[in-house]
Every structure is written in C-alpha cells, then in structure tokens.
A and B are shown apart, each in its own frame.
Chain A
Amino acid sequence: MEQHFLADNALGQFLDCLTQYGALHGPTRTSDGVDVFGPIQAGIEGLLLDYRRTLIPPKKYLIPPRQTILNYATATGYTLPTGPAPQLVLFGVHPCDLQGIDYLDRVFMGDRPDQLYRRYRDAITLVGLSCEPDAFCFCASPVKAPHNADLFLQRIEHGFLVSTETSKGKRMLAGLEPLLTKTEAAPPPPVESRMMSRLNDVAVTGRTFPDSPLWESFAARCLSCGACSVCCPTCYCFDVLENGALDEMTADRLREWDNCLFRAHGEVAGGHNFRPTRRERFHYRYLHKYLGFGALAGVPACVGCGRCREVCPVAIDLTELFAEGDDVCA
C-alpha cells in the first residue's frame, strides 16, 4: 500500500508548517524531569518523540483543572466567558490519549453539548504519534490512528508514515505534501491486548466482582490523593463552585476537577453522602470507568494508558479485579 513518508530530517520543517494551524504543543520534559504536554518553542529541540506517557493527558487543554465557566454581574446576569479559545496544534498525542479525547467528546458534545468545551475542542488540531507500550499500559492499538487524528505519524525506520482520518487532516496533508515522499508500507500489524479484551468482556457482561477481597484492600490503602483521576484521560467529574467578588456585584462560577474517592464527591446539601465509605467509592469508580453510565453505558472509559497504575502512591490497580476474575472462571 502506497503511503506518505516523512523522513526524520524533514521533521523540523514539518513542525514549522504545523504552526500555521496554531501554537505547537507536545510532549516535553520539565526541569524536574516530569514528562508533560507543553509549548514546543524551539522546533524539535525539547520535543520528546520517544516518551511513554505524560503525567497529565491532553484533557487539560479541553477541561483545565480549574476553569471559570460563567461570569455573573448584577447588570447582565450569568454570561459565558468571552474570548476565543487559543488555536493549538497538539503534536505527538499517543493513540490512547486520542481515544481519551474521543471519549470526552462523546461526554461533552453528545446529547447536550457543553459550549465552553466545544469552543476549546474546535480550536485544537490533533497530530497523533504511534507509541511503544511499556509494562504499565495495555492499549490495543499503539500504532494505529484513531478516527479523530487529524494527522497521525507512525514511527518506522528513518522517519514516519503520515496518514489522516479527518477532512481537516486531508487539507493539511495537501499543504504538507512538498515535505513528504511516497513509500510502500504494509499496514501496521494487529496488536493483541489480553487486558483490553478482558476489559471489554467485563463491560459487555456487566461483571462487578462484588465478593472480591480486593475492594477492602483498596479501601484500606487509598490515600484519596486524587492522582488516579487527575492523570486519567477520561476522568471528567467536576465540582462547581461560585465565589462572589469584593465589589459585591460580580461573581465567578468555577468548575474544578473532582475525584470519586473524595468524600465530597458523593456529598449533597444537608450533609447526606451517597458513598460514605472508600469501599463504596471504589465500587462507583469501577462502575463508571469500566461499565459506563447513562448514554455511555456499556462503553468502557479505560483507554489502557497505564497512568493510574503508575501514579498511585499505594499501588492500587483496579485491573487486578479482572485477573482475579480469570482465576474464578478457570
């Protein structure tokens, strides 16, 4: 099959061309040694092409950790924050994170579109990059382009195969053609992910492992530090706060990332808590993450990126439930 090929030595120019679609952001390393998505200023300098995963997924560009969602003024009432979202090109997004964005799109732009989310999403161009899995992750398509990749770069010897899955990507590709050559390449070999197929089986059958002793062990260890959801590409639960200003006439309504292991997550007015214990919160996390809620019931929200397993200070790994499930079946 004939495909577009980008040679390693043309990558710098390729990135320069991408900046016409917005400010270039991609995987980079902070001075403390943390891999993050951030602005890529000096061309390919500072860009981490062979990174495993960033601490926080690119969801931070769509729903920031803390964001003003409404402004209030006595004269005008509640209004959406004004001003356009910044035009961004997210370069080097791995397939798992592209799938994460796809899931968030379904949540925030499905039956009741969130105007602010859409504003940010429409301003983002996604350039995917194939990845090499490590011991933490278990995605089923580390080298294949998900359908939302405007451009997708698959690493091969001396360069990348470049493909597109969107109409925007087709237009971009036409403009980038002078930098590309044609090459014959076989389609990427299918990857088997035993964990991902287990996970899909569980979502289809709706298994909840109610008698597993793991729940108690998770609950006893969990610090409720929030890392699992902060770092999850599909965790979108948020809390809404409103703070009045000192002028007595204006206020900001904020949304900030929440975590289902926090006590306040299931707490309502009057102090009642739907999930007073950590064990109940873990069941809830499991149900939402692996079996799905509401319009997304039956759709697992786990994209296999491995972040929650890597960042948990007490090594809690919900997928142990499936492994245990296998033993029960056997």
Chain B
Amino acid sequence: MTRPTLAIAGLTACFGCQLTLLNCEAELPTLAERFDFTYFPMGSSRHDIGGEFSAALVEGSVSTPDDLETLVKLRSRSRILVAFGTCACWGGVAAMNNHLSREAMTESVYGKGAGPTGSFNPCPLHRFVTVDFSINGCPPEKHELLTTLAALLHGTLPVFPQYPVCTECRNRECLCLLIERGEPCLGPITQAGCNARCPAVSIKCEGCRGPVTEANVASELEVLLEKGISREEVIRRMRRFYPEWDYGQRS
C-alpha cells in the first residue's frame, strides 16, 4: 500500500503550528513510517511543490500575493486541505488590526514615504479556497494534530468538540475566573479542545482557539460589562485572535 502524501506549509505565520508537528517527538518515527512528507519546507531541504497530496496542512493567514499563489497551488494539488492553526482558520494575531488603515500601519513600521508593501489584510484560508477540515489553536494541540493524522490513515476525519472551553474547565473542576474573580475570561465563546489549558493554571482564556459554534457573543459581552470591564477592553481582547466578531450575535 502506498503511503499518504502530505504537504505541511506556512503562509504569513510564526511557524509555531508546524513546530507542533516536530514537537511530537515520540510519534515522529511512526509518522515518518506511515506518511510521505512530500512537501515540508520547514522540516526538509526539498522546496518545490511537486506532485499531488493526500492532504495539505496549511498554517498561517493569507496576506501577500505569494501566500495566495502557494495556497491555490496546494489546494489544486491536494485531496484534503486542512486549515492548521488559528491564523489559517480565523485570521489569528496577524489580523487583529484589520480594522485600522494599512497605510497608517505601514507608515508606523517603515516610516514616512515607504512605498506600498504589496500585502493586504490578513485573511483566513476559507476566504479564498474550500477548506475541508480545521485544527484550531495558537498553537494547535498535539493530540488534535495526531488524531487528525491518524484519522487520515483510516480514511476519515475526526470530530472535535463543538462546545466552549468552559465545559472542559468545569470538567477539570477549575475555579471559574469569570464568576469567582470577575476576570474577562473568553472561555464561554471560545472553541474547546485545549482541555482548559490556561484556566487550569488560573490564567483567563484569551480566545486563542477562535469562536465556538453558535457563540453567544452578545450575552458574553453583557456578562463582562456587568463585571465592570469596559466595552473597549473586551473588544480589544476578543479581536486578538479573531477580528470579525458579530457583537450582537446570540446563536
């Protein structure tokens, strides 16, 4: 039987998602045996996108013409395209200031008189191509990556939680930072799967896994405003990993 061929690639990104794969040290020998890592510029010296892929895992947001070209090339050569990490799924940290003028931002970084950079507002992959599956997280959880890869071997895709971080936080019997401490925790509107990694160590959820299905954004906003947190502060926090919240959304 031929091994499934994989493309692991990054667009505008920190490459932390791809590092998650390399951090699966215990599983790497098995992965190398089971898959053909055909295109993996971060992990191999071969840099041409040749051949076809059973699946492409693409990290990062799309913010340059080169990103778009790479993405379209990978899409057209892959049976399954996986948005790998929060930038690829939702825009992520690169997109947090999409509401500001790009000219002003360019000027603040490169100084007056800097020409156009050719880049555009960072966007998630689904803005341009069909995405077959998503692995959320900044960075993604190892176990979700490995479960996805194993599922590919079995010819399927896994089912990940469609409930918020709160559920996993309660399951672990952590202190509720929102109710008990009045902190602006984004657990109620953030996709679970991290097993409440941050609240379990008393750090409020920053929303790094992106919006949960049917997030009750309006109700979360009401709760936080009632706690005395300003609307500006809440919105600033919420924008960090996903810039396109509908603040009136209830379902």
Contact = CB atoms under 8 A, between A and B. Distances in A.
A263 B27 CA distance: 34
Question: Could you say which interface size class chain A belongs to?
Answer: 35 or more
Contacts of A220: 218-219, 250
Contacts of B212: 224
A266 interface: no
A282 to B, nearest CB: 12
Interface residues of B, number: 43
B173 A246 contact: no
B22 to A, nearest CB: 16
A259 B167 contact: yes
B223 to A, nearest CB: 6
B175 interface: yes
Interface in A220-241: 220-227, 230-231, 241
Contacts of A244: 150-151, 153-154, 156
A98 to B, nearest CB: 20
Nearest to A230: B170
B31 A246 contact: yes
A196 interface: no
B251 A225 contact: no
B251 A278 contact: yes
A56 B168 CA distance: 12
A313 B163 contact: no
Nearest to A262: B163
B237 interface: no
A211 interface: no
Interface in B210-233: 212-214, 216, 218-220, 222-223
Interface in A43-98: 54-56, 65-66
Contacts of A221: 216, 219, 222
Contact of B216 (A224, A227, A245): A224
Interface string B126-167: 000000000000000000001101110110101100111011
Interface of B: 27, 30-31, 34, 146-147, 149-151, 153-154, 156, 158-159, 162-164, 166-167, 170-171, 173-176, 178-180, 187-189, 202, 212-214, 216, 218-220, 222-223, 250-251
Interface of A: 30, 32-34, 36, 54-56, 65-66, 219-227, 230-231, 241, 243-248, 251, 257, 259, 262-264, 277-278, 311, 313-314
